[in-house]
Amino acid sequence: MRERRRIVELWRRGDAVALVTLVRVEGSSYREVGARLLVAGNGEYAGSISGGCLEAEVVRKAGWMVRGGAVVERYSTLFDDTAEIPYGLGCGGTVDLLVEPAGTAEFEGLMEALEASLEGVESRVVTWLPENGRPLRRVVGEVQTQGGFEELIGASQRLVVFGAGDDARPLVQMAALMGWNVVVVDGRAQWARMERFPEATLVVVAEGFGQLEALGIGNRDAVVVMTHSYEQDRVWLAGALRCGPRYLGLLGARHRSALLVRETAALLGWSVERACEGLFAPVGLDLGGDGAEAIALAVVAEIQACCEGKLGSSRRMTAEMVEEQIAQGGASRYLQAQCAL
């Protein structure tokens, strides 16, 4: 998504020459179908369509390739000096690249869809490739058709971080590097400041979940609760569970999280089992390491895996774990220590 953002930024400068899209793959390829590269008039480019073996060649020739309109060019990445198809560098496959000129209605429609995706709007795009004497055609939006190259331009992932402490800063930075839209929320105005989180899309001072209805947290969002305030965490956790984000992580020790989950479930009138179904606690993949940066990496990795459907084992809390922790008395001792401060 960060790559897409750079492509859109280069397009908005107004000096784009050609757009290159990976449309077919035979064998292996470093990039998947739909990868893009935008070329500017001065040779600058954004995006990539290979692991680096094709970019220089394509950027150098892109303007010349589209002098007569959009074309599909085939490149072999098999290591074979005798092959008729360039550009054998040993990556192991053959790729077809759509190279289209900038400035056309088809180009502008696609770029507008890419830009909208960064603001959370998904689009379906169908492109008829320029083959067998037919010119390039493209439709953005719902259309019933056959034979076209179809894509879903997915919306940028949004991450809502409840907590503006120092350990939230590397999390926001790493999420921004992924190209995600990040919202930071905290009830402490001295912490919830834009200058502390320049990579965030929005920083909000709020004390109750009712103040956040305008954010419209839904089932495509990721949420992390990490205020280090027991009372705030309980408020945000209850509100986030009601919204049903596709990822909800809770930072904290197991005994603290167990007590929070049980109290929050009771507050909502839910069973503990139901509350645990939508929760990742302890938050983050078990990658090892210590400190805010290591935790941020573990959290971003778990969110990415969850949202991409690639999540294997995780440290998700279960109802049995909640009762075990509370039975051991860890949660009670933690709460007593908090009250004594």
Same domain, 39 and 100: yes
The CATH number of the domain holding residue 196 is: 3.40.50.720
Same domain, 20 and 135: yes
**Residue 92: band (very low, low, confident or very high) from pLDDT cuts 50, 70, 90:** low
Same domain, 142 and 165: no
CA nearest 296: which of 207, 165, 158? 165
Name the average pLDDT for the chain: 87
Same domain, 176 and 267: yes
pLDDT in tens, 309-335: 887 755 677 888 888 878 876 545 444
State which of 153, 171, 192 marks the end of a domain: 153
Residue 10 pLDDT > 60: yes
Same domain, 183 and 321: yes
CA atoms within 13 Å, Cβ hemisphere of 317:
33
State which of 97, 125, 153 marks the end of a domain: 153
In the block, tokens 């008829």 appear at: 128
Same domain, 114 and 226: no
- Name the more confident of 83 and 169: 169
Residue 340 pLDDT > 50: no
State which of 93, 122, 153 marks the end of a domain: 153
Same domain, 148 and 207: no
Same domain, 143 and 162: no
**Residue 116: band (very low, low, confident or very high) from pLDDT cuts 50, 70, 90:** very high
Same domain, 26 and 121: yes
Same domain, 30 and 98: yes
Kindly report the pTM of this predicted structure. 0.76
Residues 47/123, Cβ–Cβ less than 8 Å? no
pLDDT confidence of residue 284: 93
pLDDT confidence of residue 222: 97
Pairwise CA distance, residues 341 & 339, whole Å: 6
Pairwise CA distance, residues 322 & 277, whole Å: 13
Count up the domains in the chain and report the number: 2
- Report percent pLDDT > 70 for the chain: 89
Q: What is the DSSP string of 141-178?
A: S----SSSEEEEEPPPPEEEEE--STTHHHHHHHHHHT
Same domain, 220 and 95: no
- 188 lies in which domain range? 158-340
Same domain, 128 and 180: no
Give the orientation angle of helix 254-268 with respect to helix 230-243, to 10 degrees.
Answer: 60
Pairwise CA distance, residues 282 & 17, whole Å: 48
